Amino acid sequence: MAATGEDGTGAMDSEVWERLPDEIVPQILSCLPWWSNLRLRRVSRAWKTLLSDPKFLTHSTPSPAAGAPYCILRNSAPFTIGDLNTGRWNELKDFSSTWGNGFRISATSSGIFLMHKRDPNVNFLVNPLNRTQRMLPPLPKLEDQLVVAAWHYPMTMKVEENPVNVKVVGLQFSDGKLTRVYVYDLLRHSWDVVSDNVTGKNFRAVQSSLIVGDDIFLLTPSDQLFRVYRRQLVEIPLPDCSHEGLVIKHIFQHKGSLMLANGLWVSKPHPQVELWRFDGTHGSWQKIREMPERYAVELENSKDLFKVDAEGDVVGFGCFHSKVLVLHNLVTSEWWTMDQQDLACNFAGVQIMQTLWQQTKQFILGTP
């Protein structure tokens, strides 16, 4: 048989692979890294058909507990994926050729990417493994709605498994202020208004949005956190910070709980990083982790702020222009670092960084 590389596909002879008995194809594919599957689609029709079968993909992909999530990096040209377990990087050539022209990854969840352009009405759900996609319908227009850049209203998404569904949060601005909060439902292929009574809050910017269970949370640049509740916005006080200094906050969810990553620069060049969990029953925050100083020094940079992202059980921290990513597993309490490519890149003049991604289950996105 033809020689192969580390992932079993390095120097494939397509004619040899095509003659393999169909009954052993599933065994081979289930043992190969998923990025090899992207290339193997070209080998034969039988393999391409199998790689589009959601039942096979569900059983052949590892569970979330099998390892750390993958790390997606948007370079100046191609999309590149880094395996946090092995430290190896692979370019998503086919994916980059389709989505590398003006698109960026806005959010990820369970193997699905939310892609968008500068035009707020151009948004796609994409599964890079099976190449299926769904274009989201435009948000309903307001009479006095202003055209704003896409990053002025961050979007987030959540994948539900029973029944299989994808929900996306969309924020609509009018006259420079947040006016309505929408949720897109994949099964209904439509946007639903969940709050249209936010003009009184005078929101002119939202730093991030989040779906936790049936709740939507909005974090403002002024470090105010709001829960969208019955078409109202209810403020949730954040943990009290008694020190003066620069503070970076990021909200995420873990196992159905609202989480907060808090970074504080006081007197040292590196931040003090804490992780908090919100107790919805008592309306209080509990500090569950603090980054050891030997890892916090990796975030030492007086000019650049650090980015936080979470997927599955893993939280990642990294400074722009840094080549080290600090990672933490919320279940095992393990901290570790990964040397990698430059974390930062530019999208339409805005500096962005990579997103953690855990491929947990393959969803087929098709025409509604």
Indicate where the chain has its CATH 1.20.1280 domain(s): 14-57
pLDDT at position 5: 42
What are 204-253's pLDDT values in tens digits?
Answer: 778 888 998 888 999 888 888 999 877 678 889 988 765 556 677 889 99
What are 77-102's pLDDT values in tens digits?
Answer: 577 777 776 767 777 778 888 887 77
| 344 in Cβ contact with 306 (< 8 Å) | no
| Percent of the chain surpassing pLDDT 90 | 12
DSSP letter string over 123-136?
A: EEEEETTTTEEEEP
The CA distances from residue 123 to 76, 169, 323, in Å, are: 20, 12, 30
> Assign residue 173 a region: left if phi > 0, alpha if psi is -120 to 50, beta otherwise?
beta
Is a pLDDT exceeding 90 seen at residue 68? no
Given 2.60.40, 1.10.3470, 1.20.1280, 2.60.120, which CATH number is that of 14-57? 1.20.1280
Tokens of 140: 């309903």
Indicate where the chain has its CATH 2.120.10.80 domain(s): 61-357
> What is the pTM for the complete model shown?
0.75
Which of 255, 353, 358 has its CA nearest to residue 307?
A: 353
Place domain 61-357 in its CATH homologous superfamily: Kelch-type beta propeller (2.120.10.80)
Tokens of 199: 């003009």
What are 291-330's pLDDT values in tens digits?
Answer: 999 988 887 764 556 778 888 888 988 776 666 788 899 9
| 251 in Cβ contact with 217 (< 8 Å) | yes
For 217, the enclosing helix (H) or strand (E) is strand 215-219
pLDDT at position 350: 41
What are 175-185's pLDDT values in tens digits?
Answer: 777 778 889 99
State the sign of the Cα–Cα–Cα–Cα dihedral 82, 88, 92, 93. Answer: positive
End-to-end Cα, the chain, rounded Å: 43
Is a pLDDT exceeding 60 seen at residue 166? yes
